[in-house]
Chain A
């Protein structure tokens, strides 16, 4: 069966410090991968998605970046964190289903980031 992992589970970082959040998927190949952010009292906002190694699409311009160094690894980074980067970050994966033209997204447990 497929599983998705995120770490760390919680993180407290000072303003201006770097960030690296990691997401890995097991039990599947060539998944679509996604990074979402959930701010307090708000829904999820898609930040990045990737359809393959080295292929990253950005949805929201910001000081965050994403990379996909391996097929099942997706990393969210920042060189200098802002207070506004605080939130709950969720990674998700899906398998493209060309025949059905939809792909259900499965979410990881999330990382709670607090920027102080």
Chain B
């Protein structure tokens, strides 16, 4: 079974600084997708960024970028120029690419990010 591990329960960063959130996963699949979701205090889950495993290029979305290391099964999220609105719980998630119950998202336990002014 696939597992997703976020080893940092909490992180903090100063406003305008850069922070990296870690995520590792375990899978025997070769085709899969990885996601970072943000859950602010409102509890709404918001997709931040996604990465297809077959793509070597790291995904970027404005201030958010990932470092995808397929061999190491690592998928970290880098937030540049941190803003107060970035404060939230961040979840890493995995989804297999094809076959079977490929709709299932497997989530890590989350990292609570605090942004200090």
A residues in contact (CB < 8 Å) with B = 32, 34, 41-46, 49, 51, 57, 59, 88, 90, 92, 94, 101-107, 109-110, 112
- Distance to closest chain A CB from B67 (angstroms): 20
Interface of B: prevailing SS:
loop
Quick one: which of B31, B95, B103 contacts A51, CB cutoff 8 A? B103
Quick one: which of B42, B44, B103, B110 contacts A43, CB cutoff 8 A? B110
Measured CB to CB, the nearest residue on chain A to B112 is A41
Q: How far is the CA of A107 from the CA of B46 in the complex (A)?
A: 7
Interface band, chain B: 20 to 34
The list of the 5 closest CB pairs from A to B, nearest first, reads A107-B45, A43-B107, A44-B107, A43-B109, A102-B33
> B103 touching A110 by the CB < 8 A rule?
no
B residues in contact (CB < 8 Å) with A = 4, 31, 33, 42-47, 50, 52, 91, 95, 97-98, 101-110
